[in-house]
Amino acid sequence: MQERRIWFSILAIGILFQILAAVFMPLGLDAHVHSTYVSDEIADGDSTLDWGHLRIDGSNQSVAEEISANDKWFIWHGIIEVWFTIFGISLTSLHILGLMISFSALSVVYFCTKSLWGDKNALALTALLSIYSPLVRSTGRLYQESIIILCATIILYSIVKILRRENHKFWHLTCLIFLALVLSIKGLPAKYALYLYLPILSLELYRPEYKPVNNTTLLVIAAIISAIFVWFRMGELSSDLVIILPITIFIAGVIYLYIGTLLFSYNSSQSNTESNYLSLLSQLIFAGLCGYIAMLFLVEMETLEASREVVQNRFRYIYRYVTVLAVPLWWAQMAKEKEPAIELKNNKNKSLMSLAIALMIIINGYILTFDRGIEQLGEELHDEIEDGENILYIADPPLAMHRLYTLQLTTDPGHDRNITAYWADESINWTSILDESQISWVIMTDETTNYLDDRWVVFETKTSHDVYHLAE
């Protein structure tokens, strides 16, 4: 009973953090981009970005042109569109959406875990997920991790039902549908779900004895997958992969998963068909995600013409993709024994577990202090900028266009004010753009050289940006 009260207390703290994240954290850059796609579709029926490409491909300034979504992210955009239609286009409605998705994900994890492994495991797992820092951050930033965990949990639940041959035809269909949903949410063709479904279909055709691989084999698989991804995406293998992949495996595997996941489990030496399948599935997904993350780093290095250190720093939160493995890794432990897999009293790692929980609570408190930056600036500009006035944003290339689109939802949510924003690299002399693009507002970062003359007046802002307005 005492342990149950502890888990309830942790869950209550986690729910509080989820609510605080939705209130105080700025939306993520990706959330702003997807919201811009959706708000544009609501405005004119065509889902586009009006201010140019997100990926600059080595350019030092943007070109204002419409970039279509091409029906990618169909499900994710559909969810946002329904939400906007009901609650309106605003930052507040998006924060509430993030909170509702996170609460839904925690509820699905609880009820699915309770159905398979009992209410003690369900309470402990849900409590830990509620304070798991990547998911708290996902709530505040409206990232996709929470909805991916929701879908992945239903997929895993279906797989276990198939293994147990419980109404397996229904669960086969459910599994296939949610695989397609996950791919669509991530912007990938839903038809690829058929390929991912094949190993699951094999459970129906025959009863293979899957077993997890050892760590050495897992590292080799990750290296092979990453090499394949890089070769097909870039046409060549880069020497930087030798450095990037080990760093990715360490951060994703040790920090995000072991410290955040397996450290809490009983880690029984027993095994059975269900635990073996879930463990092997987790290993293969982990290897695939590490290869995919390493490939993305290399692509960004080439696109931005930036060093490995710069790209790894700017995209340091990309390791959060592996959070989808939190549930299967825990379930693989739960499948081994009838006793609770996550417990406090008899856990040999009790001290480390308590330290990890305290650390996650501290991290959660820290991320609530994130500066809202250019999102706040957009709100400040909303009532000041006139219809038809254009913006020039001066910043270094990594994520510059993403930040530019952070302005659109606040300055022109209805896409009816005829406002166009441009970006230019802070390393160039951008004065020619002022007349060419009829710029009325200039936003600069701290390290930007100021080429403006005395026609431009300072706009006072509570953010760290330097903002100037062309005097009439």
Whether residues 228 and 331 fall in one domain: yes
> Which residues, listed in sequence order, are joined to residue 402 by a DSSP beta bridge?
none
pLDDT above 90 as % of the chain? 38
CA distances from 421 to 38, 52, 61, 283 (A): 18, 9, 11, 44
Q: Classify burial at 72, counting beta carbons within 10 Å of its beta carbon; exposed 0-12, middle 13-18, buried 19 or more.
A: middle
Choose the weakest-confidence range: 4-13, 83-92, 234-243: 234-243
Q: Has residue 293 got a pLDDT over 90?
A: yes
Q: For residues 108 and 96, what is the distance between their CA atoms, to the nearest angstrom?
A: 18
* 67 secondary structure, DSSP code: E
Residue 67 is assigned to a structural domain of this protein: yes
Whether residues 10 and 100 fall in one domain: yes
Whether residues 136 and 17 fall in one domain: yes
Whether residues 360 and 293 fall in one domain: no
Q: Give tens-digit pLDDT for 426-449.
A: 888 888 899 889 999 999 887 778
∠ CA 313-281-205, nearest 5°, is 150
Confidence band of 453 (pLDDT split at 50, 70, 90): confident
Rounded to an integer, the average pLDDT of 189-209 is 80
Q: For residues 4 and 340, what is the distance between their CA atoms, to the nearest angstrom?
A: 12
Q: Has residue 452 got a pLDDT over 80?
A: yes
Whether residues 45 and 75 fall in one domain: yes
Residue 203 is assigned to a structural domain of this protein: no
Residue 452 is assigned to a structural domain of this protein: yes
Whether residues 429 and 461 fall in one domain: yes
The chain-wide mean pLDDT, for the chain, equals: 86
Q: Has residue 215 got a pLDDT over 90?
A: no
Confidence at residue 149, expressed as pLDDT on a 0 to 100 scale: 96
* 265 secondary structure, DSSP code: B
Residue 154 is assigned to a structural domain of this protein: no
Whether residues 220 and 134 fall in one domain: no
pLDDT above 70 as % of the chain? 93
Whether residues 324 and 386 fall in one domain: no
Confidence at residue 344, expressed as pLDDT on a 0 to 100 scale: 65
Whether residues 334 and 377 fall in one domain: no
Residue 391 is assigned to a structural domain of this protein: yes
Confidence band of 72 (pLDDT split at 50, 70, 90): confident
Token output for 71 = 């029906």
Q: Has residue 129 got a pLDDT over 90?
A: yes
Token output for 386 = 């006139």
Confidence at residue 169, expressed as pLDDT on a 0 to 100 scale: 82
Q: Classify burial at 419, counting beta carbons within 10 Å of its beta carbon; exposed 0-12, middle 13-18, buried 19 or more.
A: buried
More confident residue, 48 or 210: 48
Confidence at residue 82, expressed as pLDDT on a 0 to 100 scale: 95
Q: Has residue 339 got a pLDDT over 70?
A: no
Range of the domain at 455: 373-470
Q: Has residue 421 got a pLDDT over 80?
A: yes
More confident residue, 262 or 428: 428
Residue 119 is assigned to a structural domain of this protein: yes
Give me the CATH number covering residue 417: 3.40.190
Confidence band of 184 (pLDDT split at 50, 70, 90): very high
Tell me the residue length of the chain. 472
Q: Has residue 335 got a pLDDT over 70?
A: yes
Confidence at residue 115, expressed as pLDDT on a 0 to 100 scale: 94
Q: Has residue 179 got a pLDDT over 90?
A: yes
Confidence band of 223 (pLDDT split at 50, 70, 90): very high
Cβ contacts of residue 11 below 8 Å, gap of 6+? 123, 126, 127, 130
Q: Has residue 276 got a pLDDT over 90?
A: no
- Structurally, the chain folds into a number of domains equal to 3
pTM for the predicted model, two decimal places:
0.90
Confidence band of 368 (pLDDT split at 50, 70, 90): confident
Q: Has residue 33 got a pLDDT over 70?
A: yes
Residue 198 is assigned to a structural domain of this protein: no
Confidence at residue 338, expressed as pLDDT on a 0 to 100 scale: 67
Token output for 88 = 């309106």
Whether residues 313 and 359 fall in one domain: no
Phi, psi of 458 (to 5 degrees): -70, 135
Q: For residues 440 and 422, what is the distance between their CA atoms, to the nearest angstrom?
A: 11
Whether residues 221 and 112 fall in one domain: no
Residue 190 is assigned to a structural domain of this protein: no
Q: Has residue 307 got a pLDDT over 90?
A: no
Whether residues 258 and 130 fall in one domain: no
Q: Cα–chain-centroid distance for residue 329?
A: 19
Q: Has residue 346 got a pLDDT over 70?
A: no
Q: Has residue 182 got a pLDDT over 90?
A: yes
Rounded to an integer, the average pLDDT of 143-168 is 91
Confidence at residue 200, expressed as pLDDT on a 0 to 100 scale: 80
Token output for 377 = 């600036």
349: helix, coil or strand?
A: coil
Rounded to an integer, the average pLDDT of 414-423 is 90
